[in-house]
Amino acid sequence: MSVPIDRPGKIIAIHLNYRSRADQRGRTPAAPSYFFKPASSLAGTDATVERPAGTELLAFEGEIALVIGTSAHRVSVADAWSHVAWVTASNDLGLYDLRANDKGSNVRSKGGDGYTPLGPDLIPAAEVDPAQLRVRAWVNGDLRQDDETSGLLFPLPQLVADLSQHFTLEPGDVILTGTPAGSSVIVPGDVVVVEVDAPHSSKTLTSGGLRTTVTQGTVPFDPAVGSLPAVDDLQRAEAWGSREEAGLAPVASTVPAPAPAPAPAPSGLSPALRAKLVSAPTAGLSAQLRKRGLHACFIDGVSANIPGSKIVGTAKTLRFVPAREDLFKSHGGGYNAQKRAFDAVEEGEIIVIEARGDATTGTLGDILALRAKARRAAGVVTDGGVRDFAAVAEIGLPVFSQGAHPSVLGRRHVPWDIDVTIACGGAAVQPGDIIVGDSDGVIVIPPALAEEVADAALVQEDEDAWIAEQVEAGHPVDGLFPMNAEWRAKYDAAHAGGTGA
């Protein structure tokens, strides 16, 4: 039976669901997470999909699609499959060039016209075992994906039951249930075929071949309207399936770039503001934050590995959770959150690590320090320890930590996630917060206050320098520090060109 759906009310897709894909990505989710795709992304078989002008990382994902037959609202796992009418094939196409700015929502990266081919034929859900379905995908006749639902992290009925807890699934709604390992980049001229079947059934049950041809777009994105496509090595590795497939060197052997000239300001931190923050001491900035009611912006217990170093940048966050053997097995190996953070840090950013104040193991070592230096990170702040302490200092990457410790990460920590709000040294840190560190320590400045706080700190620094001159000249501090009205008038006169004291 051919697919009768031309405008589903909802298309819901899961981020990660096959063990093979989780192993490939180096992370295993504890629970399913989802995103929506627009109905306008739907396409049939023998359709074309356009790779937009100026992009390089369009990737295919062969998937099993479920079509809801009867409304499901807060249904049990045991009852969930009865609400599925049909099973068919889908290709959850995605453009990795647009993924970073979508922050997991995939609105643009997976919402393009034609990015959800579906069909061509329907398999009655009542005639199949949801635990014994298979999905395969071919590119130009070469088999690239081949996996069965016995390899799912979250079984198909569980997805229906889970989604029905939050909103009513209606007839015609489509659920895309995840892609196995083997998804990769496709280019104009490639032909992708996806098929879903029931290989263990006593009769032939198949969706038929869902065929999609890639074409090259000619219209670029408008820079005046929104953010533009952008790729980095992380996106290339994930789009192709591995660093090797993407033609990238393994992380451990990446050679750092020569030490650059002073880095330009990162996004969100103008050159003028950065210059002010470089000139302003953390003590003065901290005092100005306290005057504005912020008393918990100091990262306690950390000091610089390179004496006299100053760091200014925006926060890229990395969170560790306490060590637990099963969690380290699922999250600690492969391309884990720690490696992803150091691979994705941008020029001028500071990696801020939540290690719960536990300094009894290292939270980075010389290899990751080399990677951060090559990416031109402004530094690292961790409330844990540092392995290869002397080697990291020799690399020249400023690191503020609790000090040296020789143990590996797994002794105390599991790398968990990145780009989330964390706690570091007793301070809350959000991605994009402004971090300033010097010999007095490290502080966190909310971006909205940074300009005001920097200006006030520099004014105070100038006043303090003038006060120091008066004390050095023999004046007592009473009435001078802080300045009373008389001394304030002298200070104002001195800065207006008068003789002052």
Question: Which range (26-35, 57-66, 174-183, 480-489) has the least confidence?
Answer: 480-489
- What is the pLDDT at residue 135? 96
pLDDT in tens, 133-145: 999 999 999 999 9
The 8-class DSSP code of residue 152 comes to: B
- What is the pLDDT at residue 261? 38
The enclosing H or E element of 279 equals: helix 271-279
What homologous superfamily is domain 271-445 in, according to CATH? Ribonuclease E inhibitor RraA/RraA-like (3.50.30.40)
Q: What is the DSSP string of 194-251?
A: EEEE-TTSSS--B---EEEEEEE--PPP-TTTSPPP---HHHHHHHHSSTTTTTPPPG
At residue 251, does pLDDT exceed 70? no
The pair phi, psi for residue 6, each rounded to 5°, is: -115, -10
- What is the pTM (predicted TM-score) of this model? 0.53
Q: How confident is the model at residue 233 (pLDDT cuts 50, 70, 90)?
A: confident
Which residues are CB-neighbours of 358 under 8 A, at least 6 positions away? 383, 384, 385, 412, 413
Q: How confident is the model at residue 285 (pLDDT cuts 50, 70, 90)?
A: very high
CA distance 256 to 173: 49
pLDDT in tens, 80-105: 999 999 999 999 999 998 887 777 78
- What is the pLDDT at residue 254? 38
- What is the pLDDT at residue 268? 59
The enclosing H or E element of 455 equals: helix 450-472
CA distance 30 to 282: 40
Does domain 11-217+227-240 match CATH 3.40.640.10?
Answer: no
Burial class (CB in 10 A: 0-12, 13-18, 19+), 336: buried
pLDDT in tens, 330-382: 888 777 889 999 998 999 999 999 999 999 999 999 999 999 999 999 999 99
Burial class (CB in 10 A: 0-12, 13-18, 19+), 498: exposed
Helices (H) and strands (E) in the chain, counts: 13, 25
At residue 7, does pLDDT exceed 60? yes
Pick the more confident residue, 5 or 480.
Answer: 480
The whole-number average pLDDT for the span 394-402 is: 93
pLDDT in tens, 158-184: 999 999 999 999 999 999 999 999 999
Domain boundaries, the chain: 11-217+227-240, 271-445, 452-495
At residue 267, does pLDDT exceed 60? no
Q: How far apart are the first and last CA of the chain?
A: 95
pLDDT in tens, 347-359: 999 999 999 999 9
Burial class (CB in 10 A: 0-12, 13-18, 19+), 76: exposed
CB 157, CB 39: distance < 8 Å? no
CA atoms within 13 A on the CB side of 80: 21
- On average, the pLDDT of the chain sits at 88
- What is the pLDDT at residue 104? 75
> In 40-109, which ranges are continuous DSSP H helix?
77-80, 99-102
Q: Extract the runs of DSSP E, i.e. beta strands, from 323-464.
A: 349-354, 379-382, 399-401, 413-418, 422-424, 427-429, 434-438, 441-445
Q: How confident is the model at residue 237 (pLDDT cuts 50, 70, 90)?
A: confident
The whole-number average pLDDT for the span 246-251 is: 70
- What is the pLDDT at residue 184? 93
- What is the pLDDT at residue 11? 96
- What is the pLDDT at residue 249? 67
